Structure 1
């Protein structure tokens, strides 16, 4: 499959990147780490720019675009570690009043976890009894929801019926993959930049073979994930999305770890954003079914064979 961005898509990506560069630069990122509340002004600006309403039909007041455009926007959000329940609010646009315009913050119960529960105006799912967790990512406050046991949870499902339990939204999985792709891309950029400027023994560390290999692996994983995520955005096939999600999770988590390896101890300091990418990628990897659901879907598709 060949996938080339159209001129409109390139303009959209540039516009989102410019907006985030103005409103959520590195200084804003550092400030957000120590600020537990969501920036409502920025949230409304995202709504005014059409971030949440990208896939809402024009007849309903939205932008009227599709999954490929949403993926490009979420990739840029992941690249700068934009905080907040972006995916849940985007999915609620058009159905929850105020979500499309950024006037309402929407979160969702996802696999027993809830992001930004205290800041949410609307919670999709049952968050009764949720308790706060100490999140590994300081930019993503988390709550855990107690496990619910249905009366017939021990009964076998009827023939031809799926087993009980929530079914992950493939669009949520794809947008999460897009955010992970943004982190993988940014991790590669940071590693290469540091390898070019940091010197040891009178030479840039990028001149050493071990560092070259790390940077090359960062790029390969990010570009493989990019091809898969963009293709899944075009096909919207659940199996394609599952594959893209697995590749994007790997590219983000391993990419951020390798970026830390290139930076050494500097990558763990609060002045650096590197460790924040690793922590966010860990949290995202649990969202929308995580890797387990995608792996099971791929395994079932492979077992079914051609056709």
Structure 2
């Protein structure tokens, strides 16, 4: 399959990127971590004004947007609100959805309307305890089924996995951007660190992994096949993890500090790797599909 973004899709990505670049997302993340949702909700309202919330029926455009959301590490129940809730017929402006066993907890249920898919039943969720996450900006809540509101389509999980895969590709690109900018500024032996061959190889490997994963995500958006969605998710998560390792390696200890922009991207990459199904489950899903052909 040959796939290339249209001019309109590229312009959509550029519009979202420009909005997020001007939004001081690191400070939005910091506020969201502490339970101050005001700046984050304001950012989501600005995204809604440019039509991001209206893309559920256009999967390619949706993954284009999610790449940018991931690249800037925007917090909030984005996959749930922009992809999963519309697939379930939920019209809430901001919603969060648990889909056990792969998504056992509801993300940010203290700020979004929570739902849970119980078998094929969609129910309003009753929230329980707040759980800790490796990423403090991901506030997870225990949920249990409440009032029945509808029936879930069989492919609703794929809607979330696809957008999360795009989010991971974008997150990897964001980490690569941070690493590339840092090694250009940092000097050693009177030379930018980025001129050293070993550093170039590390970052080139990340770029190759991301460029391999990205078309898989786009192809899965076109086909909608579960096998393609899982394959894209596996490649995207592996690429994001490689980007996180390389970015941390070239930054050194400063990358761990809470004040550095990279720290929240690292934590998000680690947390998302096991969200919406594990890598093992998605690999088995692909293998099962291939064996059945």
> TM-score, length-normalised on structure 2?
0.85
Contact 1:53 1:93 in 2 (8 A): no
Q: Which residue of 1 aligns with 2:201?
A: 213
Pick one of 86, 92, 109 that aligns with 2:85. Answer: 92
Matches of residues 141-180 of structure 1 in structure 2 within 5 Å?
141-145=139-143, 169-180=157-168
- Consecutive unaligned residues of structure 1, counting only runs of 5 or more, are 57-65, 147-165
For 1:256 and 1:169, locate their aligned partners in 2 and report how far apart those are by CA, in whole Å.
26
Residues 1:29 and 1:168: Cα distance change in structure 2 (over 3 Å): same
Contact 1:106 1:124 in 2 (8 A): no
Q: Which residue of 1 aligns with 2:255?
A: 267
For 1:286 and 1:131, locate their aligned partners in 2 and report how far apart those are by CA, in whole Å.
20
Contact 2:127 2:141 in 1 (8 A): no
Mean Cα deviation higher: 168-177 or 282-291: 282-291
Q: Which residue of 1 aligns with 2:272?
A: 284
Pick one of 93, 99, 104 that aligns with 1:112. Answer: 104
Contact 2:98 2:105 in 1 (8 A): yes
Q: Deviations over 1:253-291 (max 9, x none)?
A: 221121011100111112212121121122222222232
3-state secondary structure, aligned to 2:206: helix
Query: C-alpha displacement at 1:222, in angstroms?
Result: 1.0
Q: Deviations over 1:78-109 (max 9, x none)?
A: 11111110111112238223x3xxxx320011
Query: C-alpha displacement at 1:301, in angstroms?
Result: 2.1
> TM-score, length-normalised on structure 1?
0.81
Equivalences, count: 273
Contact 1:24 1:80 in 2 (8 A): no
Pick one of 170, 183, 188 that aligns with 2:171. Answer: 183
- Consecutive unaligned residues of structure 2, counting only runs of 5 or more, are 118-122, 145-153
For 1:300 and 1:108, locate their aligned partners in 2 and report how far apart those are by CA, in whole Å.
27
Contact 2:25 2:74 in 1 (8 A): no
Pick the structure with greater CA Rg: 1
Q: Which residue of 2 aligns with 1:5?
A: 5
Q: Which residue of 2 aligns with 1:239?
A: 227
Query: C-alpha displacement at 1:121, in angstroms?
Result: 2.2
For 1:33 and 1:143, locate their aligned partners in 2 and report how far apart those are by CA, in whole Å.
14
For 1:48 and 1:21, locate their aligned partners in 2 and report how far apart those are by CA, in whole Å.
16
Q: Which residue of 1 aligns with 2:129?
A: 131
Give me the CA root mean square deviation.
2.3
Q: Which residue of 2 aligns with 1:140?
A: 138
**Richer in strand (by share):** 2
Query: C-alpha displacement at 1:302, in angstroms?
Result: 2.7
Q: Which residue of 2 aligns with 1:54?
A: 55
Q: Which residue of 2 aligns with 1:75?
A: 67
